Structure 1
């Protein structure tokens, strides 16, 4: 048992552990468009219509998540750091949520959205843009100009 040799069973256990670790650590990919937001993991894709939201709430758990639910019963959980780091995603979600409020479908969740909006407003703009992959050019440098 403690000989230090790799047997078939041990190799299988190490591979299973590696796969499990990979599944747990790979974050879901969040995408959005006009009227929808989707989260795609390794095994499934979940999508909600942001213009038909009925509920938005914070999840109770180890990590803070924003849970969105639409009229069709679809549900998506999003890490708020993703929305903070990507202003375009936040803008699309916010526009859809405002549409839901205007239609009267969003019955609970205005407070959660307001809290997230305040958190995004408190975040300094340069750190948001660098996390989202946007880099500012130094002054005086641009197309057709030399530094």
Structure 2
């Protein structure tokens, strides 16, 4: 009996952050508006000179670099975060720790057995169910294999948070608030 294309199990496609393009546009807009305002002020005061234009352009580029979002992608047993200069990747089926970093912005720190390390914004996982699915699927495999030594509590806490936010969004959209 021949196997058709429908019988072949295909690996799940990679999932990407659906809000990344919009966040990137916002970063470009903010940097562009800052540059335009600074040049407009200099032009209005009559102090517009090439060296000042270069200074304002540099400042705008610095703002863009700070605001530029990392592009988060995930697939079967991997998760990556690509910034302006480099891409970091972890094997989710070989996770050894999951940590929570507090600060100006909250970050989820993932480490694998191959010395991979990725920091991501937990909101990205809440906004993208496919990314969350790939992470939890790999974390479950890590737990079953015994490689995930610390971070199960962090993942459970994040799971409850994402579930709560999803339920609130459903209630809000259905008018049942």
TM surpasses 0.5? yes
CA-atom RMSD in angstroms: 2.0
Within 5 Å, give how 1:61-140 maps onto structure 2. 61-125=103-167, 127=169
1: CA distance, partners of 2:114 / 2:59 = 37
**Corresponding residue for 1:135?**
none
Runs of 4+ in structure 1 displaced over 2 angstroms? 2-5, 124-128
Offset, 1:27:
0.9
**Corresponding residue for 1:133?**
none
Offset, 1:5:
2.3
1: CA distance, partners of 2:164 / 2:73 = 24
Offset, 1:6:
1.7
Structure whose residues are more often helix by fraction: 2
1: CA distance, partners of 2:67 / 2:136 = 28
Unaligned regions of 5+ residues in structure 2, if any?
1-41, 171-177
Question: What is the SS of the residue equivalent to 2:143?
Answer: helix
Question: What is the SS of the residue equivalent to 1:124?
Answer: helix
Question: What is the SS of the residue equivalent to 1:6?
Answer: coil
Unaligned regions of 5+ residues in structure 1, if any?
129-147
2: CA distance, partners of 1:126 / 1:40 = 30
Q: Does 1:9 align with 2:51?
A: yes
